[in-house]
């Protein structure tokens, strides 16, 4: 069962200079957030992808290389 939360989780793709290039999704459970992060990492191979709640980074896929 998904874990409900009070504030949405954002999945974002980042530029090499450290700015958000794409806001990919907002989800309302940690489980779904992790699935979206993993899917985004397969689509945006050359970018860092984060799962964040406000300024807190919950999970990150580092930029390859």
What is the residue whose two structure tokens read 């899917």? 39
Residue 6 has pLDDT above 90, yes or no: no
**What pTM did the predictor assign?**
0.87
Each domain of the chain, given as residue ranges in start order, spans 4-61
47 close to 14: Cβ distance less than 8 angstroms = yes
| Sequence-distant contacts of 30-34: CB under 8 A, at least 24 apart | 30/2, 30/3, 30/5, 30/58, 31/2, 31/3, 32/2, 33/9, 33/58, 33/59, 34/59
pLDDT in tens, 11-46: 999 999 999 999 999 999 999 999 999 999 999 999
pLDDT of res. 4: 63
pLDDT of res. 3: 60
pLDDT of res. 1: 62
Beta bridge partners of 22: 13
């Amino acid at each position: 069962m998904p874990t409900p939360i009070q504030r949405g989780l954002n999945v974002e793709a980042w530029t090499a200079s450290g700015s958000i290039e794409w806001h990919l999704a907002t989800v309302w459970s940690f489980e779904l957030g992790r699935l979206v992060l993993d899917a985004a990492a397969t689509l945006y191979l050359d970018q860092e992808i984060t799962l964040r709640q406000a300024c807190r980074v919950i999970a990150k896929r580092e930029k390859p290389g």
